[in-house]
Structure formats: C-alpha cells, structure tokens
C-alpha cells in the first residue's frame, strides 16, 4: 500500500510496469472476509473496476509474451 504516487515511484525504482492502482475501500475487506471478492460483491465499485482493469493488463502481457 502506497500513498500518492507511491506505486509509480516503486515501479520506476524496480523498473517494472505499473499495472494499476486500487483505491482503499472498506468494502474490499468486508466482502473478502465474507468469502466473496469485491469484483463479485460490488462489480461497479471503484476497487472492483481497478482490479478488473489490472487483471486485463496481466492477461494482455501474458498473451504478448506467449506470442513471441
């Protein structure tokens, strides 16, 4: 967990791509503790949208790598 621009700074330092940022929402913990990920419990929430976008980025990178 990083503050403002922390993820970007870590990615630059590690020379790694920044896949996305997930806003901190209490519902992420609550739904996860209840056994239902936020992307299922509240798919329209900002956190769920961010996590879905990150998952799509990962899929795209895997596809690009496997096409080589």
The model's pTM is: 0.80
Q: What is the CA 19 to chain-centroid distance, rounded?
A: 7
User: Does residue 58 sit in helix, strand or coil?
Assistant: helix
**For 8, how many CA atoms within 13 A lie in the half-sphere containing its CB?**
3
* Residue 12, both tokens: 């630059």
- Surface-to-core class of residue 49, CB atoms within 10 Å of its CB (0-12 exposed, 13-18 middle, 19+ buried): middle
- The answer to whether residue 35 scores a pLDDT higher than 80 is yes
Instruction: Give the angle subtended at the CA of 47 by the CAs of 32 and 63, to the nearest 5°.
Output: 95
pLDDT band for 28, please (50, 70, 90 cuts): very high
């Amino acid at each position: 967990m990083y503050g403002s621009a922390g993820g970007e700074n870590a990615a630059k330092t590690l020379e790694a791509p920044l896949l996305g940022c997930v806003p901190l929402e209490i519902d992420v913990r609550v739904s996860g503790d209840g056994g239902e990920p936020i992307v299922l419990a509240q798919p329209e929430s900002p956190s769920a949208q961010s996590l879905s976008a990150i998952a799509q980025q990962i899929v795209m990178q895997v596809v690009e790598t496997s096409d080589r």
